[in-house]
Amino acid sequence: MPPRRARKTAFKRVFQPLPQNTFWIDSDAYDRRAYGQLRSDSPSLRMLEEQGSTLLPHFGSLLQDIFSLLFKANIIFHKETEVLPSALLNERFLKAIGQGSPSDFLRDQTLLYEAPAGDSTLLLGERLLAQIREEKFLNRRDLRDLWDIQKQEEILNQKRDEYENADTIPEENLSQDGKKALDKAKERMGGEVQGAEASLRHKTARLKEDLKQMDQQATNRMQAEAIKVAQQLEDATEEAETWGTTLGTGQKSPPGQKLELGRRLAGNEKLKKLARLVGRMKFHAMALRKKAFERSNEEVLEIERGDSIHRLLPHEMLTLHHPTLRKDFLRRYLDQELIQYSLRGIEEKGKGPMIVCLDGSSSMAGDKEIWSKAVTLTLLEIARRQRRLFRSICFSSEETPLQILDMNPRDHYDIETKAVMDLAEYFPGGGTDFQRPLDAALECLKHAPFKKGDVVFITDGECQVASGWAAEFRKEKERLGFSLFSILIDVGSASLGTLTEFSDRITTIKQLTGDEAKDIFVKF
């Protein structure tokens, strides 16, 4: 019997796997964690990533790469063979941003600083996305090619998986015909993988040729944007520091919150004006409220942080006279961060919560809005120092929902930065309705923890109330034992009118200055 010939099997092909990396800049765990925390704390950054991902493949990876480019001290790019072809455009943008003096100017502000690097990433990402939409960098065909390349990558990975899976099928239980059919299937699948690879190489090569033409254009545009961002970042950072110092939130904000604050302050003249006015009012208010301490026992207990000049440690007084450290001393004084002695017997008397009803009708637009919000935020600072809960109620017309914000709900009455910004930016406009905000304040005072609180009502106008409502409100006010202090902004022909029906005291403001508000701050 002649010997059996060995069965000829299909040739086993070995294909080079596609890289799975979509990032061009080498980053470590610290860099990724820093960006991840920023992204988690910043709704603006997440929204930008979501918007960009509908237009450009791997836009989220691009944003993280921009952050790494601005944040890291040592920038190392991955080789082209280590990154997916569908992320090819990202490399062009990154190198355009990172070249020349504009990049150095920007990195001077962002290097190893998380919040400024995040702000710059957000601003550059927004500008980049806007110019992509306007086809300033590449046309629609190039964008379609990018998506086609990403789709081709998915097809190639699928074909390779099918080929590898077919090779793992055991042949022991197959008939001779079954084995031949399997070999043919493997051969066909191998050919499909080769075809998908060739298609991907062709599409990638064509895109590279197109991108060569945009390299210089992209470099010039992105460098111009880097200069604009650097200038805007400088302003935003300064304003954020001013705002934080002025407000005195009593807490250190995480980088993501600082990012949001800088983003909202950048280019917002109303908020800048408000911050300056709050700063002046706060200074006057604290000066007016300074009282001599009654010391039953002046034994030093421990060291604490505060703003009591007569209890400062000697080295703190030295910084006041130091030309370099003086500004830092003043900042820490405003934030109650100076090192001082804690004396036995000195305790702050607790007071009830504070509710401020703020008129947001159309007639309040402009200086009246800014002044009334500056008063509100100064009262908030007083409430923080006195360990009093603070709620704001912004109102306008009957059909407009009330904006109700708890401004310092934390354990130590720390001020919520987001709530402050929401209050500062919100202005509904429209008509005026007194009943709804006062009813909301009344309902709040009925329940803990706002019992035994007081109400401040700020408006510039007149509003009729329902028959019998004022009498019922006064009855409830007497039962609950709270006071209502009204502030009428009268820079024209405002009338006390309805305010007299429910107010315990009315202060009329003729000039929108910090001096005019001193009576308010002494009262509370």
Query: Which residues span the domain enclosing 318?
Result: 269-343
Residue 459: strand pairing partners = 488
The answer on 157 and 240 residing in a single domain is: yes
Q: How far is CA 425 from CA 234, 264, 294, 418, in A?
A: 22, 9, 41, 11
Residue whose pair of structure tokens reads 């002025």 in the numeric block: 246
* pLDDT tens per residue, range 66-119: 999 888 888 889 998 888 888 888 888 888 777 766 667 777 778 888 878 888
Strand ranges (E), 109-262: none
Q: Which of 343, 365, 391 is the last residue of a domain?
A: 343
Confirm whether 4 is domain-assigned: no
The answer on 505 and 516 residing in a single domain is: yes
Query: Is residue 203 within a helix (H) or strand (E), and if so which, with residue range?
Result: helix 176-247
The answer on 24 and 140 residing in a single domain is: yes
Between CA 375 and CA 58 the distance in angstroms is: 47
Q: For residue 8, what pLDDT is reported?
A: 47
Q: For residue 442, what pLDDT is reported?
A: 92
Confirm whether 6 is domain-assigned: no
Q: For residue 172, what pLDDT is reported?
A: 62
Between CA 398 and CA 435 the distance in angstroms is: 9
Confirm whether 289 is domain-assigned: yes
Between CA 272 and CA 275 the distance in angstroms is: 5
Q: Identity (one letter) of the amino acid at 71?
A: F
Confirm whether 2 is domain-assigned: no
The answer on 364 and 328 residing in a single domain is: no
The answer on 35 and 60 residing in a single domain is: yes
Furthest-apart CA atoms within the chain: distance in Å: 122
The answer on 161 and 30 residing in a single domain is: yes
What average pLDDT does this structure show over 6-12? Answer: 49
- Smallest CA-to-CA distance from 351 within 415, 414, 413, 280 is with 413
Give the least confident one: 49-63, 330-344, 356-370.
330-344
Q: Which of 320, 343, 366 is the last residue of a domain?
A: 343
Confirm whether 3 is domain-assigned: no
Q: For residue 455, what pLDDT is reported?
A: 92
The answer to whether the bond into 449 is cis (omega within 30° of 0) is: yes
Q: Identity (one letter) of the amino acid at 257?
A: Q
- Dihedral of alpha carbons 145, 148, 150, 156, sign: negative
Most confident of 122-126, 305-309, 378-382, 394-398: 394-398
Q: How far is CA 278 from CA 62, 188, 359, 370, in A?
A: 39, 75, 18, 9
Confirm whether 1 is domain-assigned: no
What average pLDDT does this structure show over 273-299? Answer: 61
Asked if 368 contacts 510 with a C-beta cutoff of 8 angstroms, the reply is: no
The confidence band for 214, taking pLDDT boundaries of 50, 70 and 90, is: low
Asked if 192 contacts 13 with a C-beta cutoff of 8 angstroms, the reply is: no
Between CA 317 and CA 315 the distance in angstroms is: 5
* Domains in the chain, number: 3
- What totals of helices (H) and strands (E) does the chain contain, helices first? 18, 8
The answer on 255 and 110 residing in a single domain is: yes
Asked if 505 contacts 486 with a C-beta cutoff of 8 angstroms, the reply is: yes
Q: Which of 214, 236, 267 is the last residue of a domain?
A: 267
- Smallest CA-to-CA distance from 405 within 376, 430, 431 is with 376
Confirm whether 348 is domain-assigned: no
Q: How does the average pLDDT of the chain come out, rounded?
A: 77
CATH number reported for the structural domain that contains residue 440 in this entry: 3.40.50.410
Confirm whether 389 is domain-assigned: yes
The answer on 278 and 248 residing in a single domain is: no
The confidence band for 402, taking pLDDT boundaries of 50, 70 and 90, is: very high
The answer on 97 and 216 residing in a single domain is: yes
The answer on 286 and 143 residing in a single domain is: no
The answer on 335 and 308 residing in a single domain is: yes
Q: How far is CA 192 from CA 9, 16, 326, in A?
A: 18, 14, 73
The answer on 90 and 206 residing in a single domain is: yes
Between CA 233 and CA 202 the distance in angstroms is: 42
* pLDDT tens per residue, range 263-280: 666 667 777 778 777 777
Between CA 22 and CA 150 the distance in angstroms is: 11
